[in-house]
Amino acid sequence: MAKKLKVRYYKPKADIALDINDIQNFVYDMSRCIKCKGCMWVDHTYMPGAASGFLTKCPSANMYQYDAYSGAGKMRIAHAMAEGVLDWNEKALEIVYACTLCGACDTGCKRNLDLEVELTLEALRVKAVKDGVGPMPAHKKVADNIIKKHNSFGAVHKDRNDWMPKGITPAKKADIVYFAGCNAAYVNKEIAQSTVKIFKAAGTDFMMLPDEWCCGNIIFSVGMVDEAKKLAERNIKEMRKTGAKTLITSCAEGYRMWKVDYPKLLNISTDDLGFKVLHITEYADEMIKSGKLKMKKSFDSRVTYHDACSLSRLSEPWTPWEGKRGWMGCVEPKIKRRRGTNGVYSQPREILQAIPGVNLVEMPRTRENAYCCGAGRGAREAFPEFAAFSANHRLDEVKSVGAETLVTACPICKSNFAKAIKENGDDVQVMDITEVICASIKG
Ligand code: SF4
Ligand code: SF4
């Protein structure tokens, strides 16, 4: 007879930590899911009207049309596995990895309850790897590239900085390090090129890491935490050796890795890194406001901005926590919850509004309620049809507001949207925000 899943009642003072290495840390969270579906539906108070039709927030549940694929479903699966009631099978593995770890469910859940959905989903992937069933074959190939060639594409490592435009030479030593990341270094080189042109226009000295390696986003995201930890230690050491005070990146996923997931892997706070991590939108916004970066040329377009998950709801700083959980789930000491509402939301919008000619229109789902592009955290590599589905669903929203230009602040979002636009023959262009800034500073 199949074992039954019981709700566990905690005795006072159970030791617990926000540590994804052990799924048992999140059994309380999993067992207290009330199946309210706040993780699947956009908060109605943030919607400009139900008539928009863009009411859901979980790409995985949208694509596969079963609640099992939602945050709530994955919490239930994780709970059953943590309690020894369910074992891995092919379907469970698909449900766990056909997900962008976009954080929409976590933010939705924390509107009402303090359940750590995102951390549970990460811990479930760590468990899959530790149990010898994860990650998916496509992930193993990327992980191999990262470990052997230091980039996710298996490209030649010594060519990593070949994108550097003529006429721009990084300083040997500077207070700012620019971290391009694999995608901008090898694929969307225009983003890395536009970023250093922004530095030049603002009169900012910058340096590169003496030997830039992949940030490790995919290996961390698919649950290979031991390998990701080694990379985090190596990259942080390289950064500290430069003596620079700030690391700036134009990649949203790289930003999340450096700012949130490296500290998470090393059990330190973001503040303990010893340097600041900024996204180029935070820096450019500051430069525009201080008058150092001037937006001169008109960019005449009806523009909409897509919030990349890793720059928005997943980007709040990390603070380690361990303590006790007692009756009614109360914890001591208090946990500084990451609710997704303090991401980088205003800066990209203020930059776009500072550019003459830009007519910025918002999509129905914005900021912490934004709909993921579908590419991140290993989803594109293992489930390309899911990545295409999500991009197309978001593009329907872009078209619904009549936008001519879709602006992103993440090379991975740009790649995924560009592919879908090309395949559909859509009459929309996708640009990274650094390209739009560059188009305006040229004048
Ligand atoms: S929002 Fe939270 S409590 Fe509600 S169904 Fe989703 S995971 Fe469960
Ligand atoms: S992380 Fe995103 S895709 Fe995955 S279950 Fe949550 S809302 Fe759905």
Number of other CB atoms surrounding residue 45 within 10 Å: 6
For ligand 1, atom 7: residue with the closest CA: 72
Ligand 1 atom with minimal separation from the 115 CA: 2
Q: What separation in Å is there between the alpha carbon of 125 and the centre of ligand 1?
A: 19
Ligand having the closest approach to the CA of 32: 1
H-helix segments, 243-294: 252-256, 262-266, 280-290
Distance CA 132, CA 93 (A): 11
- pLDDT at residue 328 in the model: 81
Number of other CB atoms surrounding residue 323 within 10 Å: 16
Of 372, 373, 380, best ligand 2 pocket probe by most atoms within 8 Å of the beta carbon: 372
- The answer to whether the CB of 390 is under 6 A from ligand 2 is no
Distance CA 223, CA 439 (A): 39
Pairing state between β 358-360 and 429-432: unpaired
- The answer to whether the CB of 58 is under 6 A from ligand 2 is yes
- The answer to whether the CB of 34 is under 6 A from ligand 1 is yes
Ligand 1 atom with minimal separation from the 71 CA: 7
Distance CA 101, CA 118 (A): 7
Q: Where are the domains of the chain?
A: 152-290
- The answer to whether the CB of 109 is under 6 A from ligand 1 is yes
Q: What separation in Å is there between the alpha carbon of 118 and the centre of ligand 2?
A: 8
- The answer to whether the CB of 102 is under 6 A from ligand 2 is yes
The pLDDT profile of the chain, 443 residues, written as one tens digit per residue, is 566 776 665 555 678 999 999 999 999 999 999 999 999 998 877 666 556 778 899 999 999 999 999 999 999 999 999 999 999 999 999 999 999 999 999 999 998 899 999 999 999 999 999 999 999 999 999 999 999 999 999 999 999 999 999 999 999 999 999 999 999 999 999 999 999 999 999 999 999 999 999 999 999 999 999 999 999 999 999 999 999 999 999 999 999 999 999 999 999 999 999 999 999 999 999 999 999 999 999 999 999 999 999 999 999 999 999 999 888 888 999 999 999 999 999 999 999 999 999 999 999 999 999 999 999 999 999 999 999 999 999 999 999 999 999 999 999 999 999 999 999 999 999 999 999 999 999 74
Q: What separation in Å is there between the alpha carbon of 203 and the centre of ligand 2?
A: 41
152-290 is classed CATH 3.40.50.300: no
- The answer to whether the CB of 101 is under 6 A from ligand 2 is yes
- pLDDT at residue 49 in the model: 58
